Structure 1
Amino acid sequence: MSATTETGPARPLAGRRILVVEDEALVAMMIADTLTDQGCEVIGPVATTREALKLLDDTPLDGATLDINLTHEEVLPVAEALDARRIRFVLVTGYAQDNLLRRYRRWPMVQKPFTESSLVRGLMHALTG
């Protein structure tokens, strides 16, 4: 039997503040919509490491979703800043785990193309360790 609330099935991500870093507008919208449907407060989406690091400095976060390759840059500085602050995140990427650069392999990932359920499962896994 699954947990329910007065409004339907329990949403384990409800109330969490999640940063979305994604440079493809349609994908960013899909991630934001999925997280909003789960009851999250979406921070962003943003498409650059500079924007993400500014939000990280200015905004309390519970977690994040990060696209590895942003336009002309990698998301590594954001991943490292989140990791240093012990804020958990999931990498959302089109790369297979075996093809990821070694420096990214220690963090959980969700493979593109993703489904809503795989994104939620991946983020929950990242947040709960």
Structure 2
Amino acid sequence: MTDQLSRAFQALADPTRRDLVARLAADGDATVGELAAPYDVSLQAVSKHLKVLEEAGLVSRSRDAQRRPVHLEAEVLDLMTGWIERYRRRAEERFGRLDAVLADMEHSEGSQGSDGEEAS
């Protein structure tokens, strides 16, 4: 599982591959030619990007008559999201505890007079 997670994050380190994944998520399955259209690169270059995404499990290719559509594998994105979410929750818990400590400190300082003694 960790290896797949590492490969997925590594594959998405490239902005072109992130864009390909975003386009597949928004528009659904597409051919290599359709995916390559907005870029000023060769079909071979886009195919290489797709191969990296495929090896990471982020996309798959199927055969539909003469078409070979590329399909986004959302399960891998779910795996990545779960990993990120777990650490986001932990960070939020730590920030929540820090907020509570800072609020207690602020309250303690506010209840003291200007000479440092408790106000009555």
Length-normalised TM-score, structure 2: 0.27
The structure with the largest alpha-carbon Rg is 2
Compare the two structures and name the one with the higher strand fraction: 1
Length-normalised TM-score, structure 1: 0.26
Compare the two structures and name the one with the higher helix fraction: 2
